[in-house]
Amino acid sequence: MLDLKLIRENPSLVQELLDRRTPGAYDLQKILELDARSRELETSRSQIQARSNEIGKLIGQKMQAKADPKAPEIQALRTEGNQLKEQLAAQGDTEKEIKAAIEALLLTLPNLPNPQTPVGKDETANVEIKRWGDEFIPKHDGILPHWEIGERLGILNFEKAVKVAQSRFVNLIGAGAALERALASFMLDRQIAAGYVEVIPPILVNTQALTGTGQLPKFAEESFKCDRDDLWLIPTAEVPITNLYREDILEAAQLPIYHCAFTPCFRREAGSYGRDTRGLIRLHQFNKVEMVKFVHPDQSEAEHQSLVANAEAILQALKLPYRVLQLCTGDLGFSATKCYDLEVWIPTANTYREISSCSNCGDFQARRANIRYREAGKKGTQFVHTLNGSGLAVGRTMAAILENYQQPDGTVKVPEVLQPYLHREIL
């Protein structure tokens, strides 16, 4: 959530930064009008309350002086006092309604892009930062798409998943299921060694949790909801992990806090129909190892760089070619102020595909979820900065392995670092 004080004091700056995302998509005027009205009512309430207090004091003084309680002067003061109380009650309701309206509008506004975020209207303006592993790109011909080689090997089955659920689901069978477990264990072991504390969170969360991280209200159509309960299937473990500290005040000495989690994730992929309709790239249910950080604002940028490095380390250990992109303002996620995408090489697509998105959300999520910290010896509290990234999306990693490690004889070599987990060298 954006700081209302910042909008009030620097509306032109905030509008300019929002327009860097999508020109003309966000209008601050209604928020500014409601905020002005809210402040007027606060001033009025203070004046009414002051007069009400004055009347109570006057009545008390007169009663101490043994005045007749039924005297016209006292009766007039009491009548005025009762009228003021009614005014305060009515005005209080109006103030609550206005504040709720302001909050509802604030919840629709995305985070402001970091000054370092490139300006551009869509993914074509993303900036490539680096490439790694060109020497590991397969040189032989005849590589089959990962879904085809997976079905030939009997480790992926999409047809039966349609029978059980619908399209965009998959059954992992035999070595496919083992490879998924091996990848998850390997990724978790690496992230834990990097300092992350593992969490197994709920995969059903309430509306407040999704609102805290920014998925609601904007992305309700992207999510799966349990109609009988106020519960949603998580789109990423970022949601339950970030909300571990919702409404908490941390001590500065506790920061940074690192967590990782391996969970299933669920997304409707609304608006993506016709894209990646086959294979493991864009499923409604997929597994992912997520990394989440809670950090001091002064360390936010350095922690973002190390988060990206933690994700890169997995791809490097697996010897999967990848590149790093810095996302432009038009491709930036709703809650992010700055973001790097890691894209892995998919030979049959002859391109790189996203496998991790590493976002710095600044204090945006912390404001929505009210996650603060307190400096020792200082008054007041500040909002933490939250960061998150995939370390990695397991299904997409499997897709990359099935293609990049595919052998001319139709088998798939198991990456060396996974062999101790999978107890085999060939699929």
**pLDDT tens digit sequence for 14-63:** 999 999 999 999 999 999 999 999 999 988 888 888 888 888 787 777 77
Per-residue pLDDT, averaged over 267-273, amounts to 69
Known catalytic residue: 190? no
Predicted local distance difference test score (pLDDT) of residue 273: 55
Among 20, 21, 168, 396, the one annotated catalytic: 396
Among 45, 78, 354, 374, the one annotated catalytic: 354
Known catalytic residue: 44? no
Among 357, 367, 390, 403, the one annotated catalytic: 357
Known catalytic residue: 267? yes
Per-residue pLDDT, averaged over 106-110, amounts to 97
Entry pTM: 0.90
Known catalytic residue: 357? yes
Among 282, 353, 367, 372, the one annotated catalytic: 282
Predicted local distance difference test score (pLDDT) of residue 49: 84
Predicted local distance difference test score (pLDDT) of residue 174: 96
Q: Is the pLDDT of residue 355 over 90?
A: yes
Q: What is the pLDDT of residues 280-328, one digit of tens each?
A: 999 999 999 999 999 999 999 999 999 999 999 999 999 999 999 999 9
Known catalytic residue: 39? no
* 309 touches 390 (CB < 8 A): no
* Mean pLDDT, all residues of the chain: 94
Domains of the chain: 4-106 (1.10.287.40), 123-422 (3.30.930.10)
